[in-house]
Amino acid sequence: MDQLYIDKVLAGDSQAFRYFLETYKNMAYSVAMSIVKQEHLAEEVVQDAFMVCYQSLSRFRAQAKFSTWLYRIVVNCSFGALRKHKIKHDVIDVALHDVQFDDDAFAGLVKKEREQLIQDSLLKISANEALALRLFYLEELSLMEIREITGWTETNTKTILFRGRKSLYGILSKLMKEDYYGL
């Protein structure tokens, strides 16, 4: 399906590019958030990435899936934004944040809560680790696809995934030990 719309855009139908925006905007935003960790900056990165994609579409050679190519652009734009804005992310000590929690009030929202915990935890680990975990577990991409998107070696990809799991486990463990989770 992607190739059909690529052909349309290359033939001059600029409206056909909407397909890519609608199909890939959420994942592109998710990838950008994994790296830049700020909503407004992630939105800016996604806009920039789609502009680069549109302008570079004629150079897409279909050696990989279109989504892999696009996500690689998002990753490059994200790290470029970090360099441009000189953003450094500090790891937040979750133990400092105390929130009261009423188990009865949130009984029906357990799944959403887990998802939010994971999303919040991903914001507290390094950009590379968050990106690798999001692509591998949430987007269910293969190691090969992650390598194509990030440009990392296979060993580096596995190492970052291992470290990311370890970091995520540490943060989630701290969160789960807090009193308001009933443990």
Tell me, yes or no, whether 119 and 72 share the same domain. Answer: no
Tell me, yes or no, whether 57 and 81 share the same domain. Answer: yes
Question: Rounded distance, CA 86 to CA 108, Å?
Answer: 41
Tell me, yes or no, whether 38 and 99 share the same domain. Answer: no
Q: Which residue in this structure is represented by tokens 């486990």? A: 169
- Rg of the chain over Cα atoms, rounded to whole angstroms, equals 19
Q: For residue range 115-134, what is the model confidence (pLDDT) as tens digits? A: 777 888 888 899 999 999 98
Tell me, yes or no, whether 176 and 101 share the same domain. Answer: yes
For 171, the domain range is 94-181
Which pLDDT band, with edges at 50, 70 and 90, does 30 fall under?
A: very high
117: amino acid identity, one letter: L
Tell which wins on pLDDT, 86 or 161.
161
SS3 label, residue 99: coil
Question: Rounded distance, CA 151 to CA 171, Å?
Answer: 27
The answer, yes or no, to whether residue 151 has pLDDT greater than 70, is yes
Angle formed by the axes of helices 39-56 and 66-85, nearest 10°:
130
Tell me, yes or no, whether 122 and 60 share the same domain. Answer: no
Tell me, yes or no, whether 100 and 169 share the same domain. Answer: yes
The answer, yes or no, to whether residue 15 has pLDDT greater than 70, is yes
**The predicted structure's pLDDT at residue 166:** 95
Q: For residue range 136-150, what is the model confidence (pLDDT) as tens digits? A: 988 899 999 999 999
Q: Which of 85, 107, 132 is the last residue of a domain?
A: 85
Q: What token pair was written down for 58?
A: 């004629």
Minimal CA–CA distance to 127: which of 164, 154, 159, 158? Answer: 164
Question: Which bin fits 37, alpha (ψ -120 to 50), beta or left (φ > 0)?
Answer: left
Which pLDDT band, with edges at 50, 70 and 90, does 111 fall under?
A: confident
Which pLDDT band, with edges at 50, 70 and 90, does 105 fall under?
A: very low
Tell which wins on pLDDT, 139 or 110.
139
Q: For residue range 33-67, what is the model confidence (pLDDT) as tens digits? A: 999 999 999 999 999 999 999 999 888 887 878 88
Tell me, yes or no, whether 174 and 98 share the same domain. Answer: yes
Tell me, yes or no, whether 46 and 110 share the same domain. Answer: no
Q: Which of 85, 113, 148 is the last residue of a domain?
A: 85
Question: Average pLDDT of the chain?
Answer: 83
Question: Rounded distance, CA 178 to CA 174, Å?
Answer: 7
Query: Does the predicted model carry a pTM greater than 0.75?
Result: no
Where residue 151 sits, what CATH number does that domain have?
1.10.10.10
Minimal CA–CA distance to 169: which of 142, 133, 128? Answer: 133
> How many domains is the chain partitioned into structurally?
2
